[in-house]
Chains A and B, each alone.
Chain A
Amino acid sequence: MTDTTAAVAAKAPAPAPKKGGKGLMIGIGVCAVVMVVGIALWMVQLSGGMVQTGMRNLDSWGFYITLFMFFVGLSAGGLIISSIPNAFGMKGFGDISRVAIWSSICCTCVAIGFVVVDLGGPLRLWELFVYSNLNSPLMWDIIVLSTYLILSIVYLWAYSREDAGKMSHVAIRVISIIALVVAVAVHTVTAWIFSLSAAHEFWHTALMGPWFVASALDCGTALVLIVVIALQKAGRIAFDRAHMVNLAKMLAVFTCVDLYFFACDLLTSGFPGGSGSDVVAMLTTGALAPFFWTQIVCMGLACVILFVPRLRTKGGVVLASALVIAGVFCKRCEILVGGFQIPNIQFADVANSFTITQWESGMSLLGYQGMVYWPTPIEFGVAAGVVALGGLLLLLGIKYLPLHLTGKEK
């Protein structure tokens, strides 16, 4: 990171942020509108009841918690990838730390947003701080997530102080090391929400924590690559090809590690031939097979693009990054729905509109054929609103925050 420090010092005082193009304003406007619609739909969900969602007693979490996992991953991965060069005093990936931290902050806000819209009683959120049950992995996650959010904001603030010459780079390095640790912790604890409950065969594996970190690293790196290449295209950031190639290679390695963990887990579940083989069957040939194979194909294809030097063009890298993000998203769906797909007790005699999804469509006697859960339109709407909140924050940050996005030529 010393190279960038020198560059920053040479540039100081930083030029005033450019007001941004028309595209940015349109983006901000669209995000704001979608967010407002999302909030309205959330109010509909709260007043009319969560019966309007696809979630039911036997599949008690759904699209919101899937996206919660996904965005915690994006956030943690983005922060880790931008902090590693800082923390270890390595040559950086160019001047992208500030953008990466800001996109991480936005993703954290989106993740927190998804927990809030998933709650039945958001007005009782204050209880988390008054009646905290410190045994609960969910409580750990709330603590780590809020620490992480505050730390990321401090991290970004430290950069702006450094620009003003009021903070040494050593301080930033210390913060970056703490941030790195907390980012790993935040995703591990998110994994523990699932893996510490013995009730679901698919979730109850010690590998879940490391696996989540691997997924965070690949989709986080992919997000950073997409954001940085887009900003470079818009002429707002300088980003060397060498740096892009480094990041692309790392993305490929992280993706391979993610797939490797999945393979280890599937083999360990399936080999003894007990109840674990049901999980393997569910993923490879059962109800979740479309998600599973999409993930494998996306990630495999991304690795090919990223490993073959000739394909590692800007477009290729963006495509590979998008494929990795899509793959990780599929994996999140597999984890969430897969956990509920296999019941421990057959639900004879109790199928009603509160216990299973799509009971009205005559699913009751079919039992667990097909996926146990599928979101309803209102869930897509609310989710779009939460994601738009993140988009709005991201674009506003690009417009107003000192992210070193201006005055740099390609």
Chain B
Amino acid sequence: MRYGMVIDLKRCSGCKTCSVVCKVANNLPNNIIWNRVLTEGGNAPDTAGGTWENPTMQHWPVACQHCENPACTKVCPVGATWKDAETGIVRQDYDKCIGCRMCLAACPYTGVRSFNWEEPAYYADFALGDADAAKHEKHTVEKCIFCTQRVAKGEQPACVADCIGRARHFGDLDDPNSEVSKLLATREWTQLHPEFGTKPSVYYLV
């Protein structure tokens, strides 16, 4: 089994609901964002691309690509980030992470990994989201884990369940009858930086 995500760029309106529900579901500390929505035009949010006469606006939701051949798990000296052989999900063990940040340097997808640079702080006075979400720790690395806690119970990751444009799909890439496999068989798709040979499990329908 290899869980993967298929994101329909034509249906993504750049509302960033996925960023927000991800932050809530996993009770992410302040300044930590696992799921970012980037725009092609520039560094500021919602910057138009293209030319003056013919502007374009394309949003790219980017989180961990859960690569089949991850660069990060190879370099972690203690195995605090590892690939779950059963699900294909690249996971994190906060209790094990020594904070060397080798995985941040090795991951070719700039910015999907975050380090807790200080004691996790929260905007709310109480914990949000899933009761079984892993507790965040100071000076450890974290990233999108495909909402492992939900997937284990047969649920969808938060970003998929709550996407208002229904642009996100989640399922088993190894099963030819799964929704994701069917989408990939019928639609044109692309992936982020295939040239690095990491074989990402996240696909973008174009």
Contacts and interface: CB of A to CB of B under 8 A. Distances in A.
A233 to B, nearest CB: 41
Chain A binding site: helix, strand, loop or mixed by DSSP?
A: loop
Given A49-B118, A197-B106, A199-B108, A120 B97 contact: yes
A348 B42 contact: yes
Contact of A49 (B43, B110, B119): B119
A345 B197 contact: no
Contacts of B79: 131, 133
Contacts of B119: 49
A268 interface: no
B48 to A, nearest CB: 12
Nearest to A342: B110
A131 B96 contact: yes
Interface in B99-113: 99-102, 104-111, 113
Kindly name the residue among A49, A118, A137 whose own CB sees the greatest number of chain B CB atoms within 10 A. Answer: A49
A347 B77 contact: no
Chain B binding site: helix, strand, loop or mixed by DSSP?
A: loop
Given A199-B107, A343-B110, A142 B98 contact: no
Interface string B153-188: 000000000000000000000000000000000000
B115 interface: yes
B33 interface: yes
Q: Which 4 A-B pairs have the closest CB atoms?
A: A120-B99, A120-B139, A49-B118, A199-B108
Given A120-B99, A197-B105, A345 B118 contact: no
B47 interface: yes
B117 interface: yes
Contacts of A365: 43-44
B78 interface: yes
Contact of B110 (A125, A138, A347): A347
A49 B44 contact: no
A354 B36 contact: no
Contacts of A48: 118
A198 interface: yes
B138 interface: yes
Interface of A: 46, 48-51, 55-58, 60-61, 115, 118-122, 124-125, 127-128, 131-133, 135-139, 142, 193-194, 196-200, 339, 343-355, 364-365, 367
Contact of B36 (A133, A193, A350): A350
Interface string B75-106: 11111100000000000000011111110111
Given A132-B77, A344-B108, A50 B117 contact: yes
Contacts, number: 167
Nearest to A339: B105
A122 B101 CA distance: 13
B110 A344 contact: yes
Given A345-B192, A346-B38, A58 B97 contact: no
Contacts of B71: 197-199
B105 A56 contact: no
B20 interface: no
Contacts of A367: 42-43
Interface residues of B, number: 54
Nearest to B41: A348
A122 B139 CA distance: 10
A355 B118 CA distance: 13
Contacts of B45: 348-349
B139 A50 contact: yes
Nearest to A345: B110
Given A57-B111, A57-B114, A135-B74, A349 B37 contact: yes
Contacts of B96: 124, 127, 131
A61 B105 contact: yes
B98 to A, nearest CB: 4
A119 B62 CA distance: 27
A354 B71 CA distance: 22
B75 A197 contact: yes
A349 B111 contact: no
B193 to A, nearest CB: 6
21 contacts: A49-B139, A120-B140, A124-B96, A132-B78, A133-B78, A194-B105, A197-B105, A199-B196, A345-B192, A346-B42, A347-B111, A348-B39, A348-B47, A349-B37, A349-B39, A350-B36, A352-B31, A354-B117, A355-B111, A364-B43, A365-B43
Interface in B130-161: 138-140
Interface in B11-70: 16, 31-33, 36-47, 62
B38 A348 contact: yes
Nearest to A115: B100
A118 B111 contact: no
Nearest to B109: A345
Nearest to A142: B77
B114 A345 contact: no
B78 A127 contact: yes
A346 B43 contact: yes
